Amino acid sequence: MYTLIPITGIVTAVFFFLAATNGIKKYVKNGVVQFLASQHRLFGALAALTAIVHMILAVSMGALRITGTVSILGILVTAIAGGGFFQKGSRGLYITHRIAGPVTAVLIIIHIIFNSAY
């Protein structure tokens, strides 16, 4: 049962970084990158969903981490701002989405490095 925590964590990170390929689609004219970027909203939404499952498992097994808590907040802000921008086209939400995405990428890397301790 405990192994579900790292498994769902890895799946979350994979979906998150697949969603992040949207940020390089303008610079890398490669078929794989263009295809992955075209599925951006799907990967972003799946990252948010799997992050929630990952956190519920961690909390229920007494393994909540500060770095994980901050990371999931970043993922949720990124996904909600992205979804909100998609619906409403608000410039503020787009800027929030563009800032929250890269910040969250760093938070996730810190979480992966320190997850067994913090």
Residue 29 binds to ligand HEM (criterion: CB under 6 A)? no
Residue 46 binds to ligand HEM (criterion: CB under 6 A)? no
Residue 18 binds to ligand HEM (criterion: CB under 6 A)? no
Taking CB under 6 A as the criterion, which residues in 58-87 touch ligand HEM?
75, 78-79, 82-83, 85-86
Which tokens in the block code for residue 113?
């490095």
Report the C-alpha gap between 11 and 50 in whole angstroms: 7
- Alpha-carbon torsion 73, 75, 76, 82, what sign? positive
Work out how close the CB of 2 gets to ligand HEM at its nearest, in angstroms, rounded to a whole number: 26
Report the C-alpha gap between 102 and 96 in whole angstroms: 11
Work out how close the CB of 75 gets to ligand HEM at its nearest, in angstroms, rounded to a whole number: 5
Which tokens in the block code for residue 37?
């970027």
Residue 50 binds to ligand HEM (criterion: CB under 6 A)? no
Residue 55 binds to ligand HEM (criterion: CB under 6 A)? no
At 58, phi and psi to the nearest 5? Answer: -60, -45
Hunting for tokens 């086209």 — which residue is that? 89
Q: Are 96 and 104 in contact (CB under 8 A)?
A: no
Residue 5 binds to ligand HEM (criterion: CB under 6 A)? no
Judged by the rule CB under 6 A, the positions of this chain that interact with ligand HEM are 16, 19-20, 22-23, 26, 40-41, 44-45, 47-48, 75, 78-79, 82-83, 85-86, 97-98, 101
